């Protein structure tokens, strides 16, 4: 029995606080405290510990920490529509801001505008600190579960009737009304609206505000089609509108991404001049909207602000668990570019951008 069984060296266990403690000649709890901001450790001890930790490459095991504290510093982010650059931007903004506060994103991609995947119900398994939904809505069951466990939910760019859900959105109502007025002021007579999915409440709000505002100004007829927030869908919707017998000289699209599709179809398939023959207006002001290939007139919805507000809400909800859901509206502007005929008045230049304010 001289030969002892050799220990597995294969996947060397990551160093733990106990290892650090041994090396530094202190207890494991001292090490834990050294890595807990605000905990009670003498300065000298702390430094000794940090040095030892450094030496053996210790990294806090966040799984263990989460288990012990039941907080993970992870935020779940569900997103349905990453091919739309607007949401890519939102993800990026959220990611950077959360990173700066030491948190990370657990990413879920879901189907477009379906109420959040059953998949999402598993987020709770990860003890996430919060749940952000962009372009999706939470089911009632999910909301219930989250509320029971004190996990705040924020929806970006979608309304909610459920009382436990906070929302952050752009000026849906105002955007649609401004665009209606703007198009009328520009001399347009025949209007169409391309919505997202039929059950997207954001799209519904815009559609209703657009149609009823037009009506109140003497234009009761608006053609409606749905592009399902996809490029191909919006292209089809555009064809449908242009192929109908009714005249059209202005289309308002519920997103820039769909407006790009409309521009493509209008120009290439129908040979129309923009904006002479027809005007196209979007919502979002994604970076591509300013690219000259599109040069899209659009009502802005600043992704950075949406992200910022969403995180503010989360933080407040975490700090004050009792507090009820919050609703925030982020302001935008009607940014004027080449895809829509201009009225004679109410045009301002702000920060080098032409905007329209009724």
Partner DNA sequence: TCATTCTTTGCATACGCATGCAATAGAGGT
Partner DNA sequence: ACCTCTATTGCATGCGTATGCAAAGAATGA
Say how many residues make up the chain: 358
Partner interacting with residue 32 (select from DNA, its own copies, none; CB below 5-8 Å by kind): DNA
Nearer to its own copies among residue 135 and residue 176 (C-beta): 135
Instruction: Classify residue 211 as left (phi > 0), alpha (psi -120 to 50) or beta.
Output: alpha
Q: Is 17 in the site for DNA (CB under 7 A)?
A: yes
Give the residue, chosen from 88, 112, 217, 224, that forms a contact with its own copies under the rule CB under 8 A.
88
Q: Is 305 in the site for DNA (CB under 7 A)?
A: no
- 57: exposed, middle or buried (Cβ count in 10 Å: 0-12, 13-18, 19+): exposed
Q: Is 304 in the site for its own copies (CB under 8 A)?
A: no
Q: Report whether 338 contacts 303 (CB < 8 A).
A: no
Q: Is 70 in the site for DNA (CB under 7 A)?
A: yes
The minimum distance between CB 29 and DNA, in angstroms, equals: 3
Partner interacting with residue 27 (select from DNA, its own copies, none; CB below 5-8 Å by kind): DNA
CA distance 127 to 67: 9
CA distance 226 to 203: 9
Q: Is 56 in the site for DNA (CB under 7 A)?
A: no
| 3-state percent helix, strand, coil for the chain, nearest multiple of 5 | 40, 20, 40
Partner interacting with residue 104 (select from its own copies, DNA, none; CB below 5-8 Å by kind): its own copies
Give the residue, chosen from 1, 5, 11, 319, that forms a contact with its own copies under the rule CB under 8 A.
11
From residue 230, alpha-carbon distances to 81, 82, 185, 284 in Å are 9, 11, 30, 15
CA distance 184 to 190: 9
Q: Is 267 in the site for its own copies (CB under 8 A)?
A: yes
Partner interacting with residue 28 (select from its own copies, DNA, none; CB below 5-8 Å by kind): DNA
- 245: exposed, middle or buried (Cβ count in 10 Å: 0-12, 13-18, 19+): exposed
Q: Is 279 in the site for its own copies (CB under 8 A)?
A: no
47-76: which residues touch its own copies (CB under 8 A)?
57, 59-64, 66-67, 72, 74
Give the residue, chosen from 126, 198, 216, 247, that forms a contact with its own copies under the rule CB under 8 A.
126
Q: Is 54 in the site for DNA (CB under 7 A)?
A: no
Q: Is 82 in the site for its own copies (CB under 8 A)?
A: yes
Residue closest to 207 by CA, chosen among 218, 219, 223: 223
Q: Is 245 in the site for DNA (CB under 7 A)?
A: no
Q: Report whether 129 contacts 316 (CB < 8 A).
A: no
Sites of contact with DNA (CB under 7 A) = 13-14, 16-18, 25-30, 32-33, 35-36, 39-46, 58, 60-61, 64-65, 67-70
């Amino acid at each position: 029995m001289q030969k002892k069984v050799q220990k597995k060296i294969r996947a060397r266990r990551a160093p733990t606080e106990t290892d650090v403690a041994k090396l530094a000649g202190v207890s494991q709890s001292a090490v834990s405290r050294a890595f807990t901001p605000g905990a009670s450790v003498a300065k000298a001890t702390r430094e000794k510990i940090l040095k030892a930790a450094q030496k053996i490459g210790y990294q806090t095991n966040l799984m263990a920490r989460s288990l012990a504290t039941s907080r993970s510093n992870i935020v779940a982010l569900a997103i349905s529509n990453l091919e739309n650059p607007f949401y890519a931007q939102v993800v990026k903004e959220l990611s950077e801001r959360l990173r700066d506060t030491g948190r990370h994103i657990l990413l879920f991609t879901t189907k477009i505008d379906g109420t959040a995947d059953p998949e999402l119900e598993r987020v709770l398994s990860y003890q996430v600190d919060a749940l952000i939904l962009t372009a999706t809505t939470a089911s009632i069951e999910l909301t219930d579960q989250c509320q029971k466990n004190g996990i705040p939910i924020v929806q970006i760019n979608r309304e909610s009737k459920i009382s436990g859900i906070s929302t952050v959105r752009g000026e849906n109502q105002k955007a649609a009304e401004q665009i209606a007025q703007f198009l009328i002021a520009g001399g347009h007579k025949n209007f169409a609206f391309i919505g997202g999915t039929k059950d997207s409440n954001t799209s519904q709000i815009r559609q209703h505000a657009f149609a009823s505002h037009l009506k109140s100004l003497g234009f009761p007829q608006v053609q409606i089609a749905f592009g399902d927030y996809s490029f191909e869908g919006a292209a089809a919707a555009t064809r449908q509108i242009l192929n109908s017998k009714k005249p059209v000289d202005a289309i308002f699209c519920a997103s820039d991404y769909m407006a790009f599709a409309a521009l493509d179809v209008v120009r290439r398939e129908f040979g129309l001049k923009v904006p002479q023959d027809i005007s196209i207006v979007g919502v979002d002001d994604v970076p591509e909207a300013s690219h000259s290939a599109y040069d899209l007139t659009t009502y802005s919805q600043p992704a950075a602000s949406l992200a910022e507000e969403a995180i503010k809400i989360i933080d407040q909800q975490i700090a004050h668990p009792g507090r009820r859901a919050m609703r925030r509206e982020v302001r935008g502007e009607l940014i004027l570019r080449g895809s829509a005929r201009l009225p004679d008045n109410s045009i301002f230049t702000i920060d080098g951008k032409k905007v329209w304010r009724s």
